[in-house]
Every structure is written in C-alpha cells, then in structure tokens.
Structure 1
C-alpha cells in the first residue's frame, strides 16, 4: 500500500511492501504540514496546537483568499509549504482579514496539494490502496476530502480513528508488538536515534 504520513514533523509518501519494507517516494522540502498549521495559527494569534483550532474555524469560513499551492503542478512527489505560510503572513500584514475565511483558505490549499500528490503517487505506482496517518490525519476536512477522492478515483482508503491519529503511544506500541512477534528485539543499552529515516529503520526489521 501507499502511506501518506502527515504530522508536525513529517509530510512524506511511502510505498509500503510489508513490515520493514519502505520506499520513500517524496515529501516536503521544508515545513511539514502540521508545522505549517502551527505557524499559521501563531501568525493569527490562535495559540498552539494550530491544527484543531484552524480545522474548527475553517468550518465557519469560506476559502475566499487566493493562496498559492506550491509545487502542485510539478512532475514530482515532493512538496513545499513554506511559501504558503509566507503568503498567509503577507495577507495578515496587509488589509483586514477574516480569521475564519483565512483558516478555510489555508486549509483548502494544504489539502489540495496533498490530494494531488497522493493521486499522482497512486498513478505512478499503480497501487490503489492508500493509508493516511499522522496527527494531521485527524483533520475533519482532510478526512472528508480524501474519502470523496477515493470514491471518485476508485482506490481503497484507510485512515485511523481520529483519537488514534494523534496517539503516538499506540503507534510505537503497535510497531514494538509486531517486532516482538517476529522475534526482533533490541539490547537494553540501545542508543535511540529519533531522526533515523523510515527506510533506514526498516532494515532493522531484517
């Protein structure tokens, strides 16, 4: 299956062929999606974390502001969101604006990019099963849009329950359980490396 990982630290697309078999297809070249939500929320004085509050305000607004969709038309699975954040800042520094409408506009721009890149990955690989995971997968509009996209384009979509989308302990515990079931353990003096790329980490399953 294909995995779209969207969180505060990651915005990546992977081809997953089994436990430990991950191929990186593309990802953000700068800010992660969740990071962008937090930064835009801070610009609007909405506090932290930004994802839930922008999601809530966007429901009451309209996407009337013409924000950019960076790299959306480029023939790559890479993405960029720093330019979108900059566009929001310039708009805020200019004329008066509606927080609800700006939230809706920002959120629509982000999801537009994610949709296009995910669909491009499906067409490139021929794999018609997409799993969307990470904290941002709890976003209600993202869930709605991807459900519509899957029905329209004819691929299988899997998104965890919103409560599990933000539960890092569940994710770590599940990965640990699968490793243990396969007889894969680690010594007690193991050195944690939090920034290890997933495709490198995958080799630890063998």
Structure 2
C-alpha cells in the first residue's frame, strides 16, 4: 500500500474531519434559514408584549421615545397600542388598517399606505411565521441559530425602498426581541420588545 506524503496527508485528514464534523452537527446548527425560522415562529398562535421605542429623526437633535403594548393573533391580526407619550392605536386585520388617536378613528386599506404596509408585513409576517408574506414583500437574509437569530428584510418594490431601506428583526427562539427600521431619509427607530404571554399550537412541543 502506498503511503501518502505528509504534505498530502494532512489536507486529506482535515477534509475528512470537516466532513465528519458537519455530519455530527444537528440540522438546525448546519442551516438556519427563512423556512426554518418561519416554522419555528408559526408554533406561536398569539401573543402579547410590551415595547419601548427610540426613534432618531434626521431633522431633530433629540431622540423620540414611546412605549406601549403589542399583540398578534395568527393568521393576520396585529395591534400596536402606544400609551406614551400620547395614546394611539394601530390595528391591522388582513388588509384593513385602523388608526385611532384620541376620539378620532380612521379606517383604510393597508396597501394604500406603503410605509405602514411594509413595516406591518415585516413584523406581522415574522410573528406569525408567514413565509409567503415575507417572500412576497422582501428579500430576506436570516443568520444565527434558533437561540439567537437575526433577519434583515429589504423591500422588493423600488418605490417602497424609496421610503424604507431595511427592517432588521432580532429574536430568540420563537419570540421577537428587537425591531430596527432604517428609513431612506436617514430616520431610524429601534423597538425593544418584552414578552408578556403567548399561546402555542396544541401540537407544538413545549
């Protein structure tokens, strides 16, 4: 049997070791992508959370802060209720957007407001694990692992990118922890989210 020279032997050993290591790793450690993230998120059918948001506005020297509550229910309901600095409520069911401020309420189609639509679909699609909605509206890049993941969403439509440059969503397991929205005009908002409660699918593991 002919022995390999040392200079040829070590690369071969390294290649074999790499292959064995890849085979030994769990599936989710080798590839955590949009389909896997959507499957994970779809296990939660509804949830409630509190949020704090800091928004940097290019024309202002100070940061605007707000806080309130979030809730969602699969397949297509999302509610953001701002409590501070003033009460406001945004409710989305399907393609119907309802805005409430004080005693005034306005209802319109979500797709008639591109800026609101792109941010709503980013958050709602992620929370409900709606992969089709995400792929329909964004170029999605998922990185990390289930324990700590990051998804960057870039709007597909050029006219929407003229308003919203990207939405970055960070989470742990099946819960969103932070949403960063970068606007084309330089404005930026970071929303930190703390879970209050959630309801998982009956067949989903605990």
Structure 1 and Structure 2 fold alike (TM over 0.5): no
Larger of the two Rg values belongs to structure: 2
Q: Give the TM-score range, shorter chain.
A: under 0.3
Between Structure 1 and Structure 2, the one with more strand by share is: 2
Between Structure 1 and Structure 2, the one with more helix by share is: 1
